């Protein structure tokens, strides 16, 4: 059954959207009454040496961190325990973050004066997407039809957020596991609508422009074709290929590419979305099987910018963990964080063979 959406507002005015099959949950329980929502304004501060924006949002230190359904804001509301989500159950829910790093309408770039210390309000939007009303599950344990609903919700939010004034990039991502920085153990992800193209994406954008100027076609398609024919493939489907990248930075890193050249999640057709849910589930299960249980990981959906160079971008998913598979952890040190030069101790071909050997 095709996933549908029902939208509403929380008591403090924030938007909430439910995704799933009919019938969707209706408002029957109160959301947590947190009082008027007056999000603090973050700032964009310009780093002239790196030529990139830094978001300063000190109010986010107050954001909720909880473990266990008694205090989890993503669990369903009960009569005696209201949470962020005013429903007794739900499949997938998306709502505005109460502690956003980006908030408000775009007011334009600061005037270019002689000063290098430029500051502007950090406009944009931050949303939380909860994958399930079940607190004690993980994304790897979700059925593929639920992951398909998650993907459909991300596609819908990509379109809607991309239409907001001043938004230049919509970034969907997931931090899973306290060890890697997740403040909530409930299965969830986040969506950031940036007023600029983030630095890492901008570097990909510049590389893709140079490849186009050389007449070599889509740089991402070239990477995909090379990997799909090599020993680093983890899984192949009719529409998607999952592989360990040639220049993997992390101990276990998998990229998932569609075979068709599409700019973002919203451009996928139903068959591609359905197979993506199966391949994504398989990748997460393979990672979870390395140490006999769920590994902390990050998942990043790399999409085209909202309104520029869309024809040059090729949607793909990047999933990686800092665990080595032996219980150890790769820590980023001065070379990676200070110089920006990764030193990888992984053997991509061996890692791909190890992942292929795990039964998903």
Over its length of 360 residues, how does the chain's per-residue pLDDT go in tens digits? 457 899 988 888 899 999 998 767 765 555 555 555 667 778 999 999 999 999 998 888 776 555 544 588 899 988 777 888 988 889 999 999 988 999 988 766 555 545 678 888 899 999 999 999 999 999 999 999 999 999 999 999 999 999 999 999 999 999 999 888 888 899 999 999 999 999 999 999 999 999 999 998 888 898 888 777 789 999 999 999 999 999 999 999 999 999 999 999 999 999 999 999 999 999 999 999 887 777 899 999 999 999 999 999 999 999 999 988 777 888 888 999 899 899 998 899 999 999 999 988
Cα 75 to Cα 31, 95, 142, 154, 280: the distances in Å are 11, 13, 16, 20, 24
51: phi > 0 → left, psi -120 to 50 → alpha, else beta; which? left
Q: Are 338 and 290 in contact (CB under 8 A)?
A: no
Is the CB of residue 94 less than 8 Å from the CB of residue 104? no
Per-residue b/e over 98-117, b at no fewer than 16 CB within 10 Å?
A: bbbbbbbebeeeeeeeeeee
- Same domain, residue pair 187 and 256: no
| CA gap 300, 317 in Å, rounded | 6
What's the pLDDT at 23?
67
Over its C-alpha atoms, the chain yields an Rg (Å, rounded) of 21
Active-site residue, 261 included: no
CA distance 277 to 146: 8
Distance CA(91)–CA(284), nearest Å, equals 20
DSSP structural state of residue 334: I
Residues 124/194, Cβ–Cβ less than 8 Å = yes
Residues 82, 217 within the same domain: no
Q: Phi and psi of 139, rounded to 5°?
A: -55, -35
Q: Are residues 64 and 139 in the same domain?
A: yes
Same structural domain, 181 and 277? no
What pLDDT does 65 receive? 59
Residues 30 and 161 in one domain: yes
Q: Which one is catalytic: 17, 135, 176, 188?
A: 188
Domain-ending residue, one of 179, 196, 213: 196
Q: Looking at the structure, do residues 142 and 162 belong to the same domain, yes or no?
A: yes
For residue 1, the model assigns a pLDDT of 46
Do 308 and 210 lie in a common domain? yes
Tell me the helices (H) and strands (E) count for the chain, helix number first.
5, 14
Same domain, 124 and 241: no
Does 20 share its domain with 141?
yes
The CA–CA distances, whole Å, from 338 to 200, 205, 341 equal 16, 23, 8
State whether 39 and 169 are in the same domain: yes
Q: Which of 164, 196, 228 is a domain's end point?
A: 196
Q: Are 29 and 78 in contact (CB under 8 A)?
A: yes
Position 255 scores a pLDDT of 96
pLDDT of 189? 97
Q: What CATH number is associated with residue 70?
A: 3.30.428.10
Q: Which residues does residue 226 pair with via DSSP β-bridges, in sequence order? A: none
Domain that holds residue 217: 200-357
If one counts the domains in the chain, the total is: 2
What one-character DSSP code corresponds to residue 85? B
Say yes or no: 349 and 258 in one domain.
yes
Tell whether 134 and 48 lie within a shared domain. yes
CA distance 221 to 125: 30
Residue where a domain stops, chosen among 157, 175, 196: 196
């Amino acid at each position: 059954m095709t996933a549908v959406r029902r939208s509403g507002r929380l008591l403090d005015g924030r938007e909430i959207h439910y995704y799933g099959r009919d019938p969707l949950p209706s408002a029957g329980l109160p959301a947590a009454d947190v009082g008027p929502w007056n999000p603090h304004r973050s700032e964009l501060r310009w780093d002239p040496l790196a030529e990139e924006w830094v978001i300063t949002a000190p109010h986010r230190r107050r954001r909720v961190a909880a473990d266990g359904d008694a205090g989890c804001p993503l669990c369903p509301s009960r009569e005696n325990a209201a949470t962020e989500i005013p429903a007794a159950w739900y499949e997938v829910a998306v709502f505005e973050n109460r502690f956003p790093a980006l908030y408000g309408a775009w007011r334009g770039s600061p005037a270019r004066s002689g000063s290098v210390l430029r500051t502007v309000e950090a406009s944009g939007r931050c949303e939380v997407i909860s994958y399930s009303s079940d607190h004690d599950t993980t994304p790897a344990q979700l059925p593929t039809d639920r992951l398909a609903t998650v993907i459909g919700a991300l596609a819908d939010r990509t379109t809607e957020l991309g239409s907001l004034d001043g938004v230049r990039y919509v970034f969907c991502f997931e931090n899973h596991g306290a060890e890697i920085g997740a403040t909530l153990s409930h299965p969830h992800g986040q969506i950031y609508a940036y007023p600029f193209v983030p630095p890492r994406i901008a570097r990909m954008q510049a590389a893709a422009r140079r490849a186009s100027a050389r007449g070599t076609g889509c740089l991402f398609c070239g990477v995909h074709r090379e990997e799909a024919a090599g020993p680093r493939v983890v899984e192949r489907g009719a529409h998607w290929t999952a592989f360990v990248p040639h220049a993997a930075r992390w101990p276990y890193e998998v990229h998932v590419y569609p075979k068709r050249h599409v700019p973002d999640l919203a451009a996928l057709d139903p068959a591609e979305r359905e197979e993506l849910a199966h391949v994504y589930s398989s990748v997460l299960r393979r990672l979870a099987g390395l140490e006999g249980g769920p590994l902390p990981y990050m998942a990043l959906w790399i999409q085209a910018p909202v309104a520029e160079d869309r024809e040059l971008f090729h949607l793909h998913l990047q999933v990686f963990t800092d665990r080595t598979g032996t219980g150890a952890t790769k820590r980023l040190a001065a070379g990676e964080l200070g110089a920006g030069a990764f030193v990888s101790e992984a053997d991509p071909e061996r890692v791909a063979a190890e992942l292929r050997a795990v039964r998903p």
